[in-house]
Structure 1
């Protein structure tokens, strides 16, 4: 069977290749995947089961149940001061669906989107898949991998239509401070851009504060806030995401999705309704656990020759600089996997700005993380 020409050169990303290799191995200490090791809380599971018993087993509204969208609005106003209405919310099949639908709704062929590197690899394909042109905006460790307005000015052109910004950031763990976001907001308004603000890690901030970009002056009408329950509520397998943004964009995204997924699963939505309203204390408990793990792993990394690691401000990733070992990101990650059975993601998988780094997900127990650090330390000593 002949593949479509547009997919003839399709290859797995550096992240996907690592995941595929791990599947074929046993006994791997897996620090590669951004999935919390906590199971979904039993009372959330029961909320879904009760919904099934109560007959919520039919097609859902395409944009999502109204009461679920109301819960999203309550959560964001309570936590981040973002005031919105249910008509400005779209319930997505995982947060991953949001950029695809948003770019489909907002991009014309040839429109450019600025992507701040290092960044989540699928962003590039999602822009290209909707006729756009992804433009990498390099950042540097000395600026905390946060984009400056100067970085953005070097990348913007008359064809630039939008900006994708991720804070807290995967992979760097950077939380962009308010003053810097205000400068970025002014730049965005100056160039009449839209922003897709990926705030999926909003509940995991260890230092500083999470500032919702849409709450800044002049940004509400040009920002799509991207969120979900995978990281905050440990519901990765439920595929529960959402977008908050201008009502007309939500309507268009809904129409595009009607010929793709035809709505988000009913029972998951009812679980989300319960979770968004009841789990704030659990979010704080898990955040403290992740903060402890991150600090412990960063301390171990900084004791190893050739490695330096800044403490992350948010998310649950560390992004140590491994250039002092003399290895490239790819060589370091693959040799570490093969010789010590510790899985990480090479920083180059997140764009050119990630070369010289690896991503470590602190999503395992403290004991597992320390065993992985023992193995990593032995690997580095043997180089």
Structure 2
């Protein structure tokens, strides 16, 4: 069967190649996957089962059940002061679908989107798949990988249409401070841009505060807030995401998705309804555990020869600088996997700013993390 020309030369991205290799190996200490090691809480699972017994086994409303969208609104007003209407919420198959639909609805061919480095790699292909041109905005470790307006001004052109911002950040763990977000909001208004604000890690901030970009004056009408329950409520396998956007855009995203996924799983939505309204205390408990893990791993890394690990203010990742090892990020990660059976992700797929770094996900038990640190330290000592 002949493939379409645009896919004939397609090869798995670096991160996917790493994941596929790990699947074929045994005994790997896996610090590569951004998935909480906690199972979904049993009462959330029971809520989904009850919904099934209650007859929620049919097609859902395409934009999502009204009561679920209302729960999303309650959650964001309660935690972040964002007042939204259910008509502005689209329930998606994971947060990543929100980005795809938003780009599909907003981009014309040749429109440029600023991607703040280091960025989640799939966003590059999503912009390109929807006719846009991804434009990388480098950041620096000395600035905490937080973008400045000067960084954005160097990248903006007359073809710039949008900005993708991720805070807390995958992979760096940065949380963009309120003052910088205010300056970014002003920049966005001056250049009449839309913003896809990836706030999927909003519940995991250890230092400082999470500030919702859409709460700044003039930003609600030009911001798509992307979030979900994968990280906050340990529901990665449920594929629960949502976007909060201007109502006309949310409707357009719904129409586009009607020919793709035709709504989000009914039972998963009812589980989300229960989770959003009842799990705040559990979310805080897990946040404290992740904060402890991230701090202890950073301490170990900073004690290793040739490694410098910037602190993480949020998410559950660390982004250590391993350039002192004399290896590139790709060589370091692949050799570490092959020789020490510790899986990490090279920093290079996250943009040019990631060269010389690796991503470590602190999503394993403390014992597993410390055993992995022992193995990394031993590996580095042999270089």
The answer to whether structure 1 residue 132 and structure 2 residue 153 are counterparts is: no
Check the 8 A contact 2:290/2:362 in 1, yes or no. yes
Map 1:41-190 → 2, pairs under 5 A = 41-190=41-190
Deviation (angstroms), 1:258: 0.2
Map 1:123-272 → 2, pairs under 5 A = 123-272=123-272
Deviation (angstroms), 1:217: 1.1
Deviation (angstroms), 1:183: 0.4
- Residues 180-205 of structure 1: CA distance to partner in whole angstroms, max 9, x if unpaired? 00000000000000000000000000
Unaligned runs of 5+ in 2: none
Deviation (angstroms), 1:310: 1.6
**Within 1, Cα distance between the matches of 2:68 and 2:254?**
15
List structure 1 segments (4+ residues) > 6 angstroms apart after TM superposition.
Answer: none
Deviation (angstroms), 1:263: 0.1
Deviation (angstroms), 1:14: 1.4
Q: Secondary structure at the match of 2:95?
A: coil
**Within 1, Cα distance between the matches of 2:225 and 2:254?**
16
**Within 1, Cα distance between the matches of 2:122 and 2:302?**
30
**Within 1, Cα distance between the matches of 2:365 and 2:190?**
46
Map 1:232-381 → 2, pairs under 5 A = 232-381=232-381
TM-score, normalisation: structure 2: 1.00
- Residues 147-178 of structure 1: CA distance to partner in whole angstroms, max 9, x if unpaired? 11111011101000000000000000000000
TM-score, normalisation: structure 1: 1.00
Two-structure CA RMSD over aligned residues (Å): 0.5
Q: Secondary structure at the match of 1:243?
A: strand
Deviation (angstroms), 1:10: 1.7
Q: Secondary structure at the match of 1:206?
A: coil
Deviation (angstroms), 1:13: 1.4
Check the 8 A contact 2:141/2:310 in 1, yes or no. no
Map of 1:12 onto structure 2:
12
**Within 2, Cα distance between the matches of 1:147 and 1:139?**
6
**Within 1, Cα distance between the matches of 2:13 and 2:173?**
21
Deviation (angstroms), 1:8: 2.0
Number of equivalenced pairs: 383
**Within 2, Cα distance between the matches of 1:310 and 1:134?**
27
**Within 1, Cα distance between the matches of 2:198 and 2:294?**
22
**Within 1, Cα distance between the matches of 2:37 and 2:190?**
43
Deviation (angstroms), 1:311: 1.6
**Within 1, Cα distance between the matches of 2:45 and 2:341?**
34
